[in-house]
Structure 1
Amino acid sequence: MTDLRKPPAVLRTTRHRLPLLKLSRPQQWHKGAMLFAAPAAAGVIDQPTALLRATVAAIAFTLLSIGIYAFNDVRDAPDDRRHPRKQYRPVAAGLISPPVALIWGGAAAVAGLATAASVGLPTLGLGIAYLVTQLLYVYGLKHVAVVDVVVVALGFVLRAAAGATAARVPVSNWFLLVSLFGALFLVAGKRRAEWAAADARSRPVLAAYSSAWLDQLTTVALLGTSLSYGLWAFQYLGHDVFRELLAVSFLPFLTGLLRYGLLVSSGRGELPEHEIFRDRVLLVAGLSWALLVGAGLYLA
């Protein structure tokens, strides 16, 4: 019988020039863009001080995420070795030993908290909350149905809130709701794709879900995201001609949500960051939305 606690011999021969970089998952660093969402929505991202503080906060949360990825890969190494794609992660493949990965993750987490502290105690507090909730996720909550989805979505909300505290801008309730429901929508799509691919080998919690419930969650999240965004965007109607473009931006925003929902229903969505650039309709909708929002906020 194969011992899944140890990397197979075939994987031990796998080479990667920068295994610590791979362990840090640079393909996920784009999530740091969430730290710029609040100052951008507040219309201050073009101010050097706000941009700098948001950038420092983004670096802090990227470092915290690197720490979480390292801890997660050590914890999940036995399950990852049974997965066709995740078996090539450095710890699962035997490229990095668990102690080295834990030291790397711990150093990244400490550096992240120190960086967050440099932009203020509120941002540090959110950084600590992010680190604690994600560690709880890695070491247990990821196996609790429903809770696992909420915790992942909460991570995006904490990022968005940290961007606001770092840039020292107020954040509306509607903005936080868009962040929450939008994150739930992406997570629901990811879980739906994993469930359809019978990916329970590396994510046992999927066995607790049904396709009907995941479809229901996707629908609820889509509705919550669209309504929250609409209420945020339409509140500016009547202020001036450019701010009315925010209301118009609702159309490409909704188109993108519906298009992504269609992709999820067809079995795609496990890698949301890839689908956005692979699908032309999603890409055009996203660019149109960004142009309208940018013009509405910064040409007024």
Structure 2
Amino acid sequence: MTTTAIPVGGGLVTALRVRQWVKNLLVVAPLLPAADILTADALVGVGCAFVMFCLLSSGVYLVNDVRDVEVDRAHPVKRFRPIASGAVAPSTAVALAAALIVGGLLLASLRSLDLVLVGATYIVIQLAYCLWLKREPVLELGAVASGFLLRALAGAIGSGIPPSAWFLLAAGFGSLFVAAGKRYAEAMRGDRDGAVVREVVRSYSLSYLRFVWTAAAALVMATYALWAFQVQVDRDSMWGMVSIVPFVLALLRYAVNVDAGHGEEPEEIILHDRMLLVLGGLWAATLVAATFS
């Protein structure tokens, strides 16, 4: 295959997976029940955490795509990725990845050492995933899930708002739910269509993955409810408890897509399911109402 490097242009932009930056909005979640005490400094901190994760995650995606270039070329969809298709040279991708990772950590250093530690932890885990953990059943699920949890933690640290233990648990189990849904979709593709899937995915049965994401869904609903009750007590507002309704409905709506085998690209579900977006908006509105009522 002929490899043509495109220093600037559509190939590199696509390789950065900008559409997946929607996941980084999770850094905003810790602010929702604290809207009445937000300061300009807190917003700047969250913005810093968001940009940091955009840079770091894009750097990791580039490293992962270079590492998996041969496997991606055999994938019905991933073979069109810029590195796998030859639109971007691996050497260009690695150089850009290094620049993005260094830039993200330098940006975090302008905010706090704790934010740098969160970013560095994310990089260590994700690079370990690219090089080794992705071939280890269960451990690779934990590595994928950790990325979402660290985003929520970064939002709390960047804003200076102490995170609730229940919120972090809900974020953690929610992350596992999304990660298991991704693997379930990939396993279904292999089982239903006979597509070539990675060895680690073949090590899971569909029933096992269904068990994992079902258990994770139950735990995230339970821990979120405990967090919402805490918000209700702290704010003396019934809206904390009301927020459980759109949250659970949104989770169940997302689960419909997972069960159908469409969970391999979570950002596509979020961006294209209008009812899910409506439920997400209602959830955010109830938390803001809990703050100001």
Question: Fold-level match, TM-score > 0.5?
Answer: yes
Q: Which residue of 2 aligns with 1:3?
A: none
- Alpha-carbon deviations, 1:139-190, whole Å to 9, x = none? 1101111111111111111111111111111111101011101111111111
**Which residue in 2 is equivalent to 1:223?**
218
Matches of 2:47 and 2:189, distance apart in 1: 37
Q: Does 1:144 align with 2:144?
A: no
Give the 5 Å matches for 1:89-108.
89-108=81-100
Residues 23 and 154 of structure 1: CA distance in aligned 2, closer, same or farther (over 3 Å): same
Q: Residue 160 of structure 1: SS of its match in structure 2?
A: helix
**Residue 295, structure 1, aligned to residue 289, structure 2:** yes
The letter of the residue matching 1:190 is: K
From 43, 64, 67, the equivalent of 1:51 is: 43
Determine the structure 2 residue equivalent to 1:204. 199
Matches within 5 A, 1:263-274: 263-274=257-268
1:157 aligned residue: 149
How far, CA to CA, are the matches of 1:30 and 1:19 in structure 2?
A: 20
Contact 1:193 1:269 (C-alpha < 8 Å) held by counterparts: yes
CA distance in 2, matches of 1:115, 1:57: 9
Q: Which amino acid aligns with 1:98?
A: P
Answer yes or no: is the 8 Å Cα contact 1:71–1:102 preserved in 2: yes
Contact persistence 1:200–1:207 (CA under 8 A): no
C-alpha contact (below 8 Å) 1:188/1:217 kept by paired residues: yes
5+ long unaligned stretches in structure 1: 1-6
Q: Which has the higher contact order (CA 8 A, sep 6+)?
A: 2
Instruction: Tell me, in whole angstroms, the C-alpha distance in 2 between the residues paired with 1:259 and 1:166.
Output: 31
Unaligned runs of 5+ in 2: none
Distance 1:12-1:236 versus aligned 2 partners, 3 A rule? closer
Shift of 1:210: 0.3
- Counterpart of 1:63 in structure 2 is 55
On the 8 A contact 2:5/2:92 being kept in 1, the answer is: no
Rounded Cα–Cα distance in structure 2 between residues aligned with 1:231 and 1:54: 25
1:257 Cα deviation after fit? 1.3
1:33 matched residue in structure 2: 25
Instruction: Give 1:279 shift.
Output: 3.2
Q: What's the TM-score, normalizing by structure 1?
A: 0.90
For residues 161 and 284 of structure 1, the distance between their equivalents in structure 2, rounded to whole angstroms, comes to 25
From 276, 280, 284, the counterpart of 1:282: 276
Q: In 2, distance between residues paired with 1:102 and 1:26?
A: 17
**Partners of 1:200 and 1:174 in 2: CA distance:** 39
| TM-score normalised by length of structure 2 | 0.92
Secondary structure class of the residue paired with 2:45:
helix
Contact 2:235 2:290 in 1 (8 A): no
The amino acid that maps onto 1:225 is V
Distance apart, 1:203 and its partner CA: 2.7
* In 2: Cα distance, 1:274 partner to 1:22 partner: 15
Q: Distance in 1 between matches of 2:234 and 2:10?
A: 52
How many residues are paired up? Answer: 289
Give the conservation status (yes or no) of the 8 Å contact 1:87–1:93.
yes
Higher helix share: 2
Aligned residue type for 2:29 = A
Q: Write the distance in 1 (CA, Å) between the matches of 2:204 and 2:152.
A: 28
